[in-house]
Each structure stands twice: as structure tokens, then as C-alpha cells.
Amino acid sequence: MARSLPRPHRFDVHLAVGGLLGGLVFWALGLYTQGGGLFSQTWGLIPLAVMAGLELLRRTMSRTALCVGTLALAADQCTLGNAATILMFTDLAYSAVLYGTPAAARRIPVITGLITLGTTLGLLVWWREPQAVLVGLGTGIVLFGPAATGALVRNHRDAAEAARLRAEQTALLAEMDRTQAVTAERARMARELHDMVANHLSAIAIHSTAALSLDDPDTSKQALGVIRENSVEGLAEMRRLIGILRDSSGDTEPVAAPTLDGLGALVDQARANGLDVVLDCTHAALPAPVELAAYRIVQESLTNALKHASPGSVTVALAQRDHSLDVRVTSPYGGTRDDGPRAPGSGAGLVGMRERVALLHGTFEAGPIEDPASADGKTWTVRATLPITEGESE
């Protein structure tokens, strides 16, 4: 099946019709561009009609139109000449540079410039009269002028398109940065929310279950006391977190990041919740991000021990090395515990700890390991190594 020619642009149709009508007017009035020719001006209507037809192809087949138009212009010069034919040829030269391939846009101005220069020099050598310069100037106006104009317009158009693409790329990169920043901030807030509130809610869940399942007034009263303490502290933590998210939350006090100096209070709270915790902490001054990460890791590890560990002692050990801080939390690991209530876990705690360590370019491990000293032969160990930039701990 033969491929049909593309439909011409409406403006190209107007140019073709206008050029054809203008040429017919010049022919009817006897307005010619030269005094003599090999053929009569009636034959000049053929190049005129061909040139008008080529105007319909000035955008879609610009190079073909220019080649055929050159032949039509040469044929027109064999007659008395029609100004409309010449004008339409200049438009074909302009269009071939503007709408053609990049290679054609580079070559056509060079070729037309060389033709103009060669014509001028050849006529000067042949005629040996200054009038040859005027003929060369006319040749340049018909050939080189439209091609050079098309090159200027195309360069301007390409520069504008490149600027538009750069602007779109910049906007896309800015949107990607904004999306990544929002995602990172949401992940940070999710970690803070989990670490600040999960410990209190886990204690509330466990002790409320104990109060409901045990028919002992003293135990229930003790459990309710722990529930009240954790609910009040959890509410305070929530208010401080909301203060981060909102400009006006009723809490105008700045939110201080927890440090390792608060580990003692954290361990005391874990003991009040029913854990047997041993704390071994030796460290000097540390960068704030390292202290915050270490505090949150210990906090989440104690929360997980409260929810999942078997009966036994939980050990929290922090040791500062030359360029790192080692955090190690071990708890009994022996499968399901049957002697007390449990709180469900979502698995977000381990993910949050791993993310915190990754942000500091440290290492993180969590899982059961063999421990002959343990009653069950295994302990659940959380170990994190947090790098300390040299000089920051001074």
C-alpha cells in the first residue's frame, strides 16, 4: 500500500495560492524581471505553477522542494522571468534550512554562500565591469540571504527549545528532591513516633492484660498504677511530637533530643514495667546524632524485650572505642512465654533501628545467638556500631 503524502499546513496553502495569483497578475500586466529569454513568457507560467506546488511541501519535504525549485528557477530564467517565482524560491531556501535536517541546515548556507561568491567573482573576471557586483548581490539576496535567515531563526528556535527542556529538567529534579525530602522526613517522624510511644503503649497493653486476667486486687492495683504512669508519659511524648509537626500546638517549649544521660531513667522505667535490666555504660561526650541513635536503639530493644523476651535478665552495654560507639542489648530467647501476657509487635522497631544506624554509616545486627550461660542456650542480641567522626567527641 503506497504511503500518502502528508497534509500541507494551512499557512503553506495560503503561500502557494498567494504566490500563484501574484505571478498571474505580474504575467497579465507584463511585469517581467529581465529583458529577454530563450522562450516566451507564456512558458514562464510552468515554473510559476511548479514553484507554487512546491510551496505545499515546504515543511514536510523541504529538501526535495528546494532541489526541484532550483530547476524551476533555472527554467524561469530562460523566459522573461517572473518575480513571484523568484520570491517563492527564496521561501523554499529559507524553509529548507528551518525545517530540514540538522545536516541540511549546516550545509545549505555554506553552499549558497559559495555559489554567491563564485558567481560574483566569475562575472567580474568575465565582464570586467562593476555591474557584475550588482548581479552577485542579487544572487546573494535570492540564495544566501534566505538560507542565512533560516539558520538564524533555527538557531534561535533550538536555543529556546533547549532552554525549555533545561527548565523542565530543573523542575523535575526539584520535584524529585522535594519528594525525597518529604519521604525522608516522613520516615524520620515515623521512627520518632514509634520510639517515643511504643514503649509506653506496650507496657500499658501488657499490664492491662494482666489486670484483666488475674483476680488479685493488689496485682490489679499495681498494674493500674503502671498503666497510669505510662499513659501520662506517653501523652507527654505525643504532645512533644505534635509540637514538632505544628507551629502552634500549645507546647512552646523547645523539644530536647534525648541523650545517653537519660539511660538511667529509661532503665528505671523498664524495671518498673517488670524487666530485670542491668546497665553497663561507659562513654565520654559524643555527637548529638550518635547519642540520639544509641538512646533510641536501647529504648526499642527494651520495648521488644518487654513484649517478647522470656523471663530473665536483660543486659544493656555501651562501650566507646577510638572511633565508634558499640551498643549491645541482650535478652533471654527461648520461644513463646507462657507465664504472662504478651504484646503484639509489627516489626517496625527493627526497621527503625536499622535505618538509624544506616544514616550514620554504621553496622547493625539483631537475632538469636548461641549463649551457653543462658538457661535456654540462646539469647536475643541487638548490636550496633555507630561511627564517631574524629574530633567530634572532644
Does residue 219 form part of some domain?
A: no
Residue 71: its pLDDT value, please? 93
Q: Are residues 137 and 268 in the same domain?
A: no
Domain assignment of residue 5, yes or no: no
295 vs 80: CA distance, rounded Å: 98
Q: Does the structure show a pLDDT above 50 at 205? A: yes
Looking at the structure, tell me whether residues 158 and 278 fall in a common domain.
no
Spatial distance between the Cα atoms of 67 and 11, rounded to a whole number of angstroms: 21
Cα–Cα distance, 289 to 91 (Å, whole number) = 69
pLDDT band for position 88 (cuts 50, 70, 90)? very high
What's the gap between Cα 280 and its chain centre?
46
pLDDT digits (tens, 9 = 90+) for 27-55: 888 888 876 667 777 888 999 999 999 99
In a domain, 247, yes or no: no
Portion of the chain with pLDDT greater than 70, in percent: 80
- Residue 58: the pLDDT is 92
Same domain for 274 and 159: no
C-alpha cell belonging to residue 253: 517549649
Q: Is residue 58 part of a domain?
A: yes
Q: In this model, does residue 102 exceed pLDDT 50?
A: yes
In a domain, 218, yes or no: no
Three cell numbers written together for 118: 563564485
Q: Are residues 153 and 283 in the same domain?
A: no
Average pLDDT, the chain: 81
pLDDT tens digits, one per residue of 249-266: 444 454 566 788 888 888
Position 103 pLDDT exceeds 70: yes
Using a CB cutoff of 8 Å and minimum separation of 24, what contacts does 60-65 make?
A: 60/5, 60/6, 60/8, 61/5, 62/92, 62/95, 62/96, 62/98, 62/99, 62/100, 62/104, 63/96, 63/100, 63/101, 63/104, 65/92, 65/95, 65/96
- What's the chain's Rg over C-alpha atoms? 44
Q: What is the pLDDT of residue 249?
A: 46
> Of 211-215, 226-230, 293-297, 350-354, which one has max mean pLDDT?
293-297
Q: Is residue 229 assigned to a domain? A: no
The answer to whether residues 161 and 290 belong to one domain is no
Residue 179: CB partners within 8 Å, gap ≥ 6? none
Whole-number pLDDT of residue 245: 64
Asked, for residue 237, whether it belongs to a domain, the answer is no
Domain end point (choices 147, 165, 183): 165
- Total domain count, the chain: 2
Domain end point (choices 123, 147, 165):
165
Residue 141 sits in the same domain as residue 272: no
Quick one: 161 and 275 in the same domain?
Answer: no
Do both 161 and 264 map to the same domain?
A: no
CB neighbour class for 380 (10 Å; exposed up to 12, middle 13-18, buried from 19): buried
- Which residue range is the domain that position 87 belongs to? 10-165
**DSSP-assigned states of every residue in 171-207:** HHHHHHHHHHHHHHHHHHHHHHHHHHHHHHHHHHHHH
Q: What is the mean pLDDT of residues 208-224?
A: 69
Q: Are residues 45 and 155 located together in one domain of the fold? A: yes
More confident residue, 331 or 230: 331
Q: Convert the pLDDT of each residue in 321-351 to its tens digit.
A: 888 999 999 988 765 444 444 545 555 678 8
Beta partners for 168?
A: none
* Domain co-membership, 16 together with 123: yes
What pLDDT score does 378 carry?
A: 80
Q: pLDDT at position 156, please?
A: 94
Backbone angles phi, psi at 219, to 5 degrees: -65, -40
**What tens digit of pLDDT does each residue of 145-157 get?**
999 999 999 999 9
What pLDDT, on the 0 to 100 scale, is given for residue 247? 53
Same domain, residue pair 268 and 373: yes
Domain boundary among 144, 165, 186: 165
* Domain match, 265 and 140 both: no
Span 193-202, pLDDT tens digits = 666 666 667 6
What CATH code is carried by the domain that includes residue 355? 3.30.565.10
